[in-house]
Structure 1
Amino acid sequence: MAYGLLKFAAALAATGFVGICGWTAATGWHPDVKQYPLQGIDLAENPGPVEWGTVRARGADFAYLVATSGTDRRDPGFEANWAALPDAGLRRGAVHVYSLCQRADEQANAFNTFVPRTADALPTAVDIAFHDDCTARPNRATLIADVAQFVTMVETHTRQPVMLRISKAVDTQYSLSGAVPRPLWAVENVLKPDYTARPWRMWRASDFRRIDGIEGPVNWDVVAS
Structure 2
Amino acid sequence: MQRFLLALLPLTMLLGGCTAVGYDMIETASISPRFEDTKPMDFGARNPHKHQIHGIDVSKWNGDIDWFSVRKSGVSFAFIKATEGKDTIDPKFDGNWRAAASAGLPHAPYHFYYWCSSADEQADWFIANIPKAAMKMPPVLDVEWNHDSKTCQYKPSPLTVRSEMQRFMDRLEAYYGKRPIIYTSVDFHRDNLVGQFKDYYFWVRSVASHPSEKYDERRWAFWQYTATGAIPGIKGSTDINVFAGDAQNWKRWLVAMNK
Structure 2-normalised TM-score?
0.72
- Tell me: CA distance 1:177–1:163, structure 2 relative to 1, closer, same or farther (3 Å): farther
Return the match for 2:166 from 124, 132, 148.
Answer: 148
AA paired with 2:184?
A: I
Does the aligned pair in 1 maintain the 2:54–2:242 contact within 8 Å? yes
Shift of 1:75: 0.8
Equivalent residues in 2 for 1:1-225 (5 A)?
26=38, 31-32=48-49, 35-118=50-133, 121-131=136-146, 132-133=148-149, 134-174=152-192, 176-180=193-197, 181-194=199-212, 195-225=215-245
AA paired with 2:63?
A: G
- Between the aligned partners of 1:223 and 1:165, the Cα distance in structure 2 is 13
Does the aligned pair in 2 maintain the 1:46–1:75 contact within 8 Å? no
Moved over 6 A (4+): none
Shift of 1:123: 1.1
Q: Which runs of 5+ in 1 are unaligned?
A: 1-23
Shift of 1:168: 0.8
Does the aligned pair in 1 maintain the 2:110–2:139 contact within 8 Å? yes
Deviations, residues 30-54 of structure 1 (Å, cap 9, x unaligned): 832xx42211100134431000011
Taking only aligned residues, the RMSD between alpha carbons, in angstroms, comes to: 1.9
- Between the aligned partners of 1:127 and 1:25, the Cα distance in structure 2 is 24
- Tell me: CA distance 1:75–1:25, structure 2 relative to 1, closer, same or farther (3 Å): closer
Shift of 1:183: 0.8
Shift of 1:141: 1.2
Q: 2:8 aligns to what?
A: none
Q: Which has the higher relative contact order, 1 or 2, with Cα contacts under 8 A spaced 6 or more apart?
A: 2
Shift of 1:179: 1.9
- Tell me: CA distance 1:159–1:215, structure 2 relative to 1, closer, same or farther (3 Å): same
Shift of 1:26: 4.1
Does the aligned pair in 1 maintain the 2:135–2:176 contact within 8 Å? no
Q: Which runs of 5+ in 2 are unaligned?
A: 1-35, 42-46, 246-259
- Once the two structures are overlaid, the 10-residue window that deviates more, 112-121 or 157-166, is 112-121
Shift of 1:170: 0.7
Percent same amino acid among aligned pairs? 29
- Between the aligned partners of 1:111 and 1:38, the Cα distance in structure 2 is 28
Does the aligned pair in 2 maintain the 1:126–1:164 contact within 8 Å? yes
Structure 1-normalised TM-score?
0.82
